[in-house]
């Protein structure tokens, strides 16, 4: 009886131990399976994001995944299928039979979401790396001060137009005699200049202007964008980061001085003008530059007693003028316009101009005013010191709203990629910045695990 009792006891004990061991082994297997499922999903996501758009990286230092795969339409099913494809070999490396039962993307973020939040963050980081490699530094204080000067000079011209000067002259001329005089010839010469189209007036070779035009429908900012489900970006940019973003756009875009191929060649000018035509964008910039310089030059002339005395002496040559002081001011306005034309021409020839004028750096003699525009070429030239065309555009861009800069900057990035063979349907609003994926995986026909993982280009790849 004792031997039989012991045998039954041991049998029961062994069965319990076997059951416990089996449960333990199953738990270990399921635990291992759970970890392997997470690892497989990680590998699937890493493999997906390793397929970043090579053109965006090579030309713009941007890491985004083309979620349209050059089809022109965002294909989230194809994105998930890539994740699943790379998961399956990993799931097979286990004693437990692991089978994906369901899955998909539970969230995704696009380059253009929240007014280009992810685009901005990557552009800022890219510019930091570019500047570090070149040993360059940016001063927010200097940029702010320079933009403030330009804004003040432009505002000096608000409410005033050269057409008003000519109207005032016509009123003076109506009260005088129709006789030739140096004063009359000077005003009429400037009037002839002002009637010219800006490219013909300010460019040495106006026929060489780019004829680049893009249809509005081809620009990102002129269509409704795809929207992601949530953001992986870090939020609003600080002012210092906005300056880096601007510098990034200037580094990556072309301009009138160094035009780019295809599409819009004058991209800096597009960032300011926003037109679908290179010529219109250039004219917009030229108009602003001319007014900025007019504001500075008029301010100088009106405050220089010697220059005013010259203008007064010239005004006295006009027979029968009703108001010599008014005619003096008309001549000062015309003189300032002539000097401004010379300055902008110098900028567009790649030269420099001085920002603040004085008697020593004034270029145009008053006695040469009647011979314009015929002598523009002979009088044109650059100053030894001062600022360049790019410096003015940089200041003008600093004054623009961030949202406008970002939209137009993304326009130029998208257009540049679309200009490449086979990339005509590329869309920046189909470029993925980050995704969240979830999968249901059955382990050994016993239990189904759900795994959810996120991945994004927020931490830049090297």
User: pLDDT tens across 339-369, in order?
Assistant: 999 999 999 999 999 988 899 899 999 999 9
pLDDT (0 to 100) of residue 461: 43
In this predicted model, what pLDDT tens digit does every residue of 80-130 receive, in sequence order? 999 999 998 888 876 668 888 899 999 999 999 999 999 999 999 999 999
How much of the chain, in percent, has pLDDT values that exceed 70? 89
pLDDT (average), residues 67-89: 94
Question: 351 Cβ partners below 8 Å, 6+ apart?
Answer: 381, 382, 383, 388
Rounded to whole angstroms, how far apart are CA atoms 75 and 453? 20
- Confidence (pLDDT) at 427: 96
What average pLDDT score do residues 209-225 get? Answer: 92
User: Do both 410 and 439 map to the same domain?
Assistant: no
Number of domains in the chain: 2
pLDDT higher than 80, residue 459: no
Same domain, 189 and 101: no
123 belongs to a structural domain: no
Flag whether 424 is in a domain. Answer: no
* Residue 132: inside a domain: no
- Which of 2-16, 47-61, 122-136 is the least confident region? 2-16
Instruction: Confirm whether 372 is domain-assigned.
Output: yes
CA–CA dist 210, 207 (Å, integer): 8
- Check pLDDT > 80 for residue 177: no
Indicate if 155 and 182 belong to the same structural domain: yes
**pLDDT score, position 246:** 94
- Residues 224 and 334 reside in one and the same domain: yes
Q: How many CB atoms lie within 10 A of CB 223?
A: 12
Tell me the mean pLDDT in the region 62-89.
94
* Within-domain flag for 122: no
Q: Is residue 60 part of a domain?
A: yes
Specify the pLDDT at position 433.
95
pLDDT band at 1 (very low <50, low <70, confident <90, very high): very low
Both 397 and 297 in one domain: the answer is: yes
Same domain, 315 and 287: yes
CATH code of 33's domain: 3.10.450
Residues 252 and 340 in one domain: yes
Q: Does residue 383 sit in the same domain as residue 249?
A: yes
pLDDT score for 237: 84
Q: Which tokens is 250 given?
A: 């200037």
Which residue has 């003096």 as its token pair?
Answer: 328
Task: Tell me the two tokens of residue 175.
Answer: 């009260």
In a domain, 128, yes or no: no
Q: Work out the pLDDT band at 21, boundaries 50, 70, 90.
A: low
Please give the mean pLDDT across all residues of the chain.
Answer: 87
Taking 70 as the threshold, does the pLDDT of residue 13 lie above it? Answer: no
Residue 181 shares a structural domain with residue 329: yes
Give the pTM.
0.87
60 CB-near residues (< 8 Å, 6+ apart)? 123, 126, 252, 413, 416
Question: Does one domain contain both 49 and 75?
Answer: yes
pLDDT at 462 over 50: no
Segments forming the whole domain that contains residue 85: 2-115+433-456
Based on the fold, state whether residues 328 and 403 are members of the same structural domain.
yes
Mean pLDDT over 163-167 rounds to 90
**Residue 19 binned pLDDT confidence (cut-offs 50, 70, 90):** low
Q: How confident is the model at residue 38 (pLDDT cuts 50, 70, 90)?
A: confident
- Given this model, what pLDDT does residue 425 score? 94
260 token code pair? 């780019």
pLDDT at 24: 45
Q: Give the pLDDT of residue 266.
A: 96
Q: Are 150 and 74 contained in the same domain?
A: no
């Amino acid at each position: 009886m004792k031997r039989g009792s012991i045998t039954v006891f041991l049998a029961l004990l062994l069965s319990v131990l076997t059951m416990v061991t089996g449960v333990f082994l199953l738990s270990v297997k399921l635990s291992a399976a759970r970890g392997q499922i997470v690892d497989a999903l990680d590998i699937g996501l890493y493999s997906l994001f390793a397929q970043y758009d090579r053109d965006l990286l090579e030309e713009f230092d941007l890491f985004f995944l083309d979620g349209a795969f050059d089809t022109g339409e965002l294909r989230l099913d194809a994105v998930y299928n890539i994740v699943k494809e790379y998961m399956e070999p990993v799931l097979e490396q286990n004693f437990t039979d692991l089978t994906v039962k369901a899955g998909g993307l539970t969230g995704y973020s696009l380059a253009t979401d929240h007014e280009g939040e992810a685009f901005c963050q990557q552009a800022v980081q890219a510019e930091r790396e570019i500047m570090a490699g070149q040993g360059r530094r940016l001063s927010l204080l200097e940029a702010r001060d320079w933009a403030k000067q330009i804004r003040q000079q432009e505002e000096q011209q608000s409410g005033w137009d050269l057409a008003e000067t000519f109207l005032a002259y016509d009123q003076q001329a109506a009260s005088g005699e129709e006789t030739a005089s140096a004063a009359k010839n000077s005003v009429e010469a400037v009037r002839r200049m002002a009637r010219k189209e800006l490219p013909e007036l300010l460019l040495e070779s106006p026929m060489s202007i780019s004829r680049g035009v893009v249809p509005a429908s081809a620009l990102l900012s002129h269509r409704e964008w795809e929207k992601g489900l949530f953001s992986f970006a870090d939020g609003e940019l600080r002012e210092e980061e906005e300056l880096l973003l601007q510098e990034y756009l200037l580094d990556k875009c072309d301009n009138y001085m160094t035009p780019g191929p295809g599409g819009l060649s004058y991209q800096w000018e597009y960032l300011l003008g926003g037109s679908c035509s290179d010529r219109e964008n250039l004219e917009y910039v030229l108009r602003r530059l001319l007014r900025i310089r007019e504001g500075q030059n008029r301010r100088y002339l009106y405050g220089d007693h010697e220059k005013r005395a010259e203008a007064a002496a010239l005004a006295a040559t006009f027979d029968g003028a009703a108001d010599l002081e008014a005619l003096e001011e008309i001549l000062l306005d015309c003189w300032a316009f002539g000097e401004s034309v010379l300055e902008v021409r110098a900028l567009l020839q790649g030269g420099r101009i001085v920002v603040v004028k004085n008697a020593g750096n004034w270029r145009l003699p008053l006695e040469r005013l009647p011979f314009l525009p015929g002598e523009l070429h002979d009088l044109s030239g650059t100053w030894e010191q001062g600022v360049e065309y790019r410096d003015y555009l940089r200041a003008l861009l600093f004054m623009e709203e961030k949202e406008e800069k970002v939209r137009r900057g993304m326009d130029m990035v998208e257009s540049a990629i679309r200009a490449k063979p086979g990339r005509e349907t590329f869309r920046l609003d189909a470029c993925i910045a980050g995704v969240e994926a979830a999968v249901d995986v059955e382990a050994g026909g016993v239990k189904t695990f759900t795994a959810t993982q996120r991945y994004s280009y927020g931490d830049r790849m090297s």
